[in-house]
């Protein structure tokens, strides 16, 4: 006679089988609902003679875009226009995330500083910029550049070849020369060498206890190797200088007021939240860790870099990921100040083609991709820095 443990459990009493059954039932319900909604939508569109599909992406866009990282004109297709919008969103999001992490980390550390003035100024910054809505900050910076700065003919010139006016920041750039391409390659090689050097120094210190100045060596490599390559390749110094022509400048590079206003608003707003994340992460590390590190003679900067921050990162990274996603999604507010991000370009495309469902679907897909890519990268980094107990 078989034991009780070997008796067959009825289906409706087996938790594992029930879990699979309920999940399958839920998936079937979602699929049926999606089928009904999509079918109903397509039927309504057909009844009103509204075209569906993404064929419009190959048609001529017939509208200009003020800022573009790639060549674009009104004669290009809607598909290329949307690519321009995606690249503009990527640029402002990437630059904004880098600046936000740097500024937010510095503010979070300063918030816990023993210097009374520095700690109070950091707290004041955090309270002010957290409480002002980001859209209002965008309007403020946009009005600042257009209302307070002079026109091109009266442009401010803080340095030779640099002009600041209500058309943006215009500055001189070096003329095209192979030396700069070689210097860029050298910069990438220097960064790779610094990463390899850091790993080697960590293994060496763990094995022998001897310290290697990775930071100083890395800075010397990153700055010195491209400079040396540029010098060997001919040391070109010719510049393309902006010149006032009519009502605007020609030549050089221009950073528009819309881009600057959007970047400032996103960075100043989001960095206030990142500062609180960093502060909470640092405070999550027990005081005994700091005291133990100082008892062996480590300087305060070394205590922070080698003991406190590595342990605080496991608390900092998850909410920091959320703030990065918030910054990327908040970049869609660019439409309010005229910066041609993806939402702005997609909105113009929808207005001209009437393909509202397809346009909104593209917006959802692009921002979903941005969010999933950012989350995947940060999850990988979180696992990489995780402290493994042996």
Please, what is the Cα angle at 28 between 25 and 34, to 5 degrees?
A: 145
69, 91 in Cβ contact below 8 A?
A: yes
Q: Given a cut of 70, is residue 138 above it in pLDDT?
A: yes
Rounded to whole angstroms, the Cα distance separating 3 from 68 reads 74
Average pLDDT for residues 329-350, to the nearest whole number? 90
Average pLDDT for residues 146-150, to the nearest whole number? 84
List, for residues 273-315, the tens digit of each pLDDT value: 999 999 998 888 878 777 787 777 777 777 877 788 888 888 8
DSSP at 253 = E
Reported as a pLDDT band with limits 50, 70 and 90, residue 207 is: confident
Q: Which CATH fold topology does 78-132+257-384 show?
A: MetI-like fold (1.10.3720)
Q: Which residues contact 158 (CB under 8 A, 6 or more apart)?
A: 164
Range from 17-31, 116-130, 148-162, 184-198 carrying the lowest mean pLDDT: 148-162
* Per-position DSSP letters for 52-64, written without gaps between them: -SSGGGGSB----
Q: Given a cut of 70, is residue 100 above it in pLDDT?
A: yes
Average pLDDT for residues 359-376, to the nearest whole number? 91
Average pLDDT for residues 194-223, to the nearest whole number? 86
Q: Where are the beta strands (DSSP E) in the chain?
A: 156-159, 162-165, 168-171, 173-174, 239-240, 243-245, 248-250, 253-255
pLDDT at position 7, please?
Answer: 63
List, for residues 227-274, the tens digit of each pLDDT value: 999 998 888 888 888 888 777 788 778 888 899 999 999 999 999 999
Please, what is the Cα angle at 227 between 222 and 229, to 5 degrees?
A: 105
Identify any residues that bridge with 239 across adjacent strands, giving them in sequence order. Answer: 174
221, 194 in Cβ contact below 8 A?
A: yes
Is 56 or 267 the better-scoring residue by pLDDT? 267
Q: Given a cut of 50, is residue 44 above it in pLDDT?
A: yes
pLDDT at position 291, please?
Answer: 76
Determine the 3-state secondary structure of 9 from DSSP.
coil
Q: Given a cut of 80, is residue 79 above it in pLDDT?
A: yes
Domain boundaries along the sequence of the chain? 10-47, 78-132+257-384
Average pLDDT for residues 61-80, to the nearest whole number? 88
Average pLDDT for residues 7-33, to the nearest whole number? 83
Reported as a pLDDT band with limits 50, 70 and 90, residue 2 is: very low
Rounded to whole angstroms, the Cα distance separating 348 from 342 reads 10
267, 275 in Cβ contact below 8 A?
A: no
pLDDT at position 387, please?
Answer: 66
């Amino acid at each position: 006679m078989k034991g009780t443990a070997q008796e067959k459990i009825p289906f409706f009493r087996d938790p594992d089988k029930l879990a699979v059954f309920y999940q399958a039932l839920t998936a079937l319900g979602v699929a049926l609902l999606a089928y009904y909604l999509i079918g109903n939508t397509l039927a309504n569109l057909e009844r009103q003679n509204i075209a569906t599909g993404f064929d419009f992406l190959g048609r001529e866009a017939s509208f200009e875009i003020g800022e573009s990282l790639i060549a674009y004109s009104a004669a290009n297709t809607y598909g290329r226009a949307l690519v321009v919008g995606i690249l503009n969103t990527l640029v402002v999001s990437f630059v904004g995330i880098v600046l936000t992490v740097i500024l937010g980390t510095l503010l979070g550390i300063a918030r816990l500083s023993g210097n009374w003035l520095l700690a109070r100024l950091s707290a004041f910054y955090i309270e002010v910029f957290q409480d002002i809505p980001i859209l209002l900050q965008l309007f403020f910076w946009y009005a600042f550049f257009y209302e307070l700065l002079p026109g091109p003919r009266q442009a401010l010139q803080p340095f030779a070849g640099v002009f600041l006016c209500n058309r943006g920041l215009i500055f001189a750039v070096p003329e095209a020369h192979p030396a700069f391409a070689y210097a860029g390659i050298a910069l990438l090689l220097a960064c790779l060498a610094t990463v390899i050097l850091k790993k080697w120094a960590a293994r060496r210190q763990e094995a022998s206890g001897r310290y290697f100045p990775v930071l100083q060596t890395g800075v010397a490599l990153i700055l010195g190797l491209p400079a040396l390559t540029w010098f060997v390749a001919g040391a070109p110094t010719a510049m393309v200088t902006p010149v006032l022509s009519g009502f605007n400048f020609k030549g050089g590079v221009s950073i528009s007021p819309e881009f600057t206003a959007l970047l400032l608003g996103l960075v100043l707003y989001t960095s206030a939240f990142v500062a609180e994340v960093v502060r909470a992460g640092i405070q999550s590390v027990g005081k005994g860790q700091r005291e133990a590190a100082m008892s062996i003679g480590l300087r305060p900067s070394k205590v922070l870099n080698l003991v406190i921050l590595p342990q605080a990162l496991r608390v900092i990274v998850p909410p920091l990921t959320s703030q990065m996603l918030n910054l990327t999604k908040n970049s869609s507010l660019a439409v309010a100040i005229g910066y041609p991000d993806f939402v702005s370009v997609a909105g113009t495309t929808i207005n001209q083609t009437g393909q509202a469902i397809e346009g909104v679907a593209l917006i959802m897909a692009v921002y979903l991709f941005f969010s999933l890519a950012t989350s995947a990268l940060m999850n990988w980094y979180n696992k990489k820095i995780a402290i493994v107990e042996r």
